[in-house]
A and B are shown apart, each in its own frame.
Chain A
Amino acid sequence: MRLMELDENINYIVSGLERSGTSMVMQVLLAGGAPVAFNKSRLPDQSNPKGYYELEGGKIINKLMDGTFPLNEYKGKFIKITSYGLKYLPAGDYKIIYSERNIGEILDSMEKMANINDTNREETRESFVKLNSMIKNYIREREDIEVLIVNYNNILSEPSINIKKIYDFLDLADINLEKMIDAVDRELYRQRRN
């Protein structure tokens, strides 16, 4: 598959709370032909059967915190940095696709992945809701960041409409919208809350 070229001066990021659909957005971008950087430092497992699409074994946040993550090397490619890591983005030029999901589903999925039974679930929920809100406000206010907010639940219920939003945000002639829509895998939607 021929990959298109993104702007080499921009860092492209897929973000959102952990378990909010960031891996699915990475899959969608890759399917459409967008350059996506990841390695096999965290292998696919039951929580993410198609892989995590991450760098640094998912621990990119630590490197952003101490300023050692080489963002320059990843310009012109999409990388995954989850919400908390965005707090540590240095000044630059960024395009961020930020994924949201029903918070109950996120917590269910987190607990399953970490094999924990959260006895303070309501407090945890509140903390992650606040983190999500704080980060969204922060990235919207920064002048060096362009943001698209997408919703995992909406992508799964109406892929065509919602993937088109990503397509329009990227504004690239040679990205394959049909393949992006086809990449939305409803079978992976296992933590649904009705």
Chain B
Amino acid sequence: MAEGKDEKKYTTISIPTPLAEKIKKRIEGTGFTSLSSYVTYVLREVISGMEEESEEVFSKEDEEKVKDRLRALGYLD
């Protein structure tokens, strides 16, 4: 994937050519005007989903970190 009209705002990422061709076919007739705009959209969705997911899960590791801090503050034995 190579787009470089504005070098300050964009960077170049390589993906396998067969995948690029597949995506081009997939976006035909959709509102996406380029391979880059589609891939940007997909990546944003993926990252946003990951962030939401990580916010929701209070893991055992998180709990241990919290308990350590509460002990340091004198709120837990």
Contact = CB atoms under 8 A, between A and B. Distances in A.
B21 to A, nearest CB: 39
B4 interface: no
A167 interface: no
Given A18-B73, A61-B75, A62-B76, A133 B56 contact: yes
B59 to A, nearest CB: 8
Given A126-B62, A133-B58, 12 more contacts: A59-B74, A84-B66, A110-B69, A110-B73, A114-B72, A127-B63, A128-B66, A130-B55, A130-B56, A130-B57, A131-B62, A133-B56
Describe B's contact surface by its main secondary structure. Answer: helix
A119 to B, nearest CB: 13
A13 to B, nearest CB: 15
Interface string B37-68: 00000000000000000111111011101110
Interface of A: 18-19, 42, 57-59, 61-62, 82, 84, 110, 113-114, 116, 123-124, 126-131, 133-134
Given A58-B75, A82-B75, A131 B58 contact: yes
Contacts of B72: 110, 114, 116
A59 B75 contact: yes
B70 A134 contact: no
Given A116-B72, A127-B66, A131-B66, A59 B55 contact: no
Contacts of A129: 55
Q: Which 8 A-B pairs have the closest CB atoms?
A: A127-B62, A114-B72, A134-B58, A127-B65, A130-B58, A58-B75, A62-B77, A114-B73
